[in-house]
Amino acid sequence: MNEYDSGVARRNGPPADPPDGVAPAGPPPGDPPAVEETGEDGARPGPPGERARGRPRPLSHDDYHAVVRARVADLDRLTPGASAGPVGAVLSGGSGGVADVLPDERLLVALDVDGTILDIDGRVSERMMASLARLRAHGVRIVISTGRGIEAALPVAHHLGLTDGWMICANGAITLRMDPAAPGGYEVADSVVFDPTDVIATLSRAVPDGILAVEVLDGGFEVSRPFPDGELAGMQRVVSPEEMASRPVIRVVLRAPGMGVREFSALVAGCGLHSVEYAIGWTAWLDVAPEGVTKASALQALAARLGTSADRAIAVGDGANDIEMLRWAGIGAAMGSAPRAVTECSDIITEPVWHDGCAALLDAVVERTRKRSQS
């Protein structure tokens, strides 16, 4: 046993917020498919023989540390010459500069939630909790960057011990500064809204049996009819399409229960959405955001506010709504369960959430620096 294994990380931890049952936020982008399924778009299920009662087993101590060593090698590959050059220097390579990734206050780590931090049952492993605590002890800025709305994201952040600092919600439409002294524990530092009228009309024609929702800045959702239980965290208020389109919103959500992803994707692709950003999830779920608004756009603005930049950022995610974020960061890492479109945009492919792939990468940042200091 060493500092990167708590000794009890043999199974996943408790749900992120047991009293409120913070579960995976339904099937928005970023949620992994059930491990028994083979993804149509290249998502990889757990290795054969590793499923116990339908759940892959966590890695053993030795296997986990083999993954950490592999991630150290990845970081060395992406920052060639770092050990010989000045600590913290920006190194040339790829499409732009990549700073030597050091666990200090200059490093920004942007993390998706569902399928990256939380497993498919909404649980956070003890290894993940420990890796986050180690980075925070070094002063690293941890930024939750999620498609979840405020009400669904805050309990996760609090469970992770993040009660101050920054969080990006609604795929970049909202940036929060968490502050225990503020009403509700946060204040909205930045937000982007748009007129949903055309989007609602277009999606209603394309998928007439779908369920529509709009997320409003003052919290909760206005919906055409209730979403399936557990899929949309936050208060839902059933309203008419006219009322739904009556004011600017953060995002529009379309859900088509019972429809396959391929059919749904084809309908969305052919419906003529314009001047918006959209991402399709693992199931028939669509998020539509204002044009130009992504996790990356919010992170760019936040990095400037904090006096840092993309070359000193690591981003980890698993969904189509993470692609821009992975491209933006100096080092973008895709979870091993991510579809091919996501992995092709990443610098590193780590293990799936059920094998603590995100935790291993974060531990590798600390381990790599520790080894360098000893050499």
Q: What is the DSSP string of 25-54?
A: -SSSTTPPPPTTSPPTTS---PPTT-EETT
Structure token digits, residue 50: 């590793």
Contact between residue 211 and residue 257 where contact means Cβ atoms under 8 Å apart: yes
- Tens digit of pLDDT for each residue in 199-254? 999 999 999 999 999 999 877 899 999 999 888 888 899 999 899 999 999 999 99
- Tens digit of pLDDT for each residue in 73-86? 999 999 875 544 44
- Tens digit of pLDDT for each residue in 277-318? 888 877 899 999 999 999 999 999 999 999 999 999 999 999
Residue reference for tokens 């920052």: 79
Measured CA to CA in angstroms, residue 82 lies from 132, 205, 333 at distances of 24, 55, 19
Query: What average pLDDT does this structure show over 268-278?
Result: 87
Strands 108-111 and 313-317: parallel
Structure token digits, residue 247: 């004011």
Q: Which domains does the chain have, with CATH numbers?
A: 28-42+57-87+100-191+295-374 (3.40.50.1000), 197-290 (3.30.1240.10)
Q: Which residue has the higher pLDDT, 373 or 298?
A: 298
Sign of CA dihedral 251, 267, 34, 58: negative
Residue 262: left (phi > 0), alpha (psi -120 to 50), or beta?
alpha
Q: Is the pLDDT reported for residue 100 higher than 90?
A: no
- Rounded to the nearest 5 degrees, what angle is found at the Cα of 279, between the Cα atoms of 262 and 109? 130
Residue 142's identity, in one-letter code, is I
Residue 222's identity, in one-letter code, is E
In the DSSP assignment, the letter for residue 305 is H
Measured CA to CA in angstroms, residue 172 lies from 34, 106, 235 at distances of 26, 22, 21
Say what the pTM is. Answer: 0.82
In the DSSP assignment, the letter for residue 346 is -
Residue 219: left (phi > 0), alpha (psi -120 to 50), or beta?
left
- Tens digit of pLDDT for each residue in 21-38? 344 455 443 443 333 333
One-letter-per-residue 3-state SS of 219-242? CCEEECCCCCCCCCCCCEEECCHH
Least Cα distance to 110 among 369, 269, 336, 306 occurs for 306
Mean pLDDT of the chain: 83
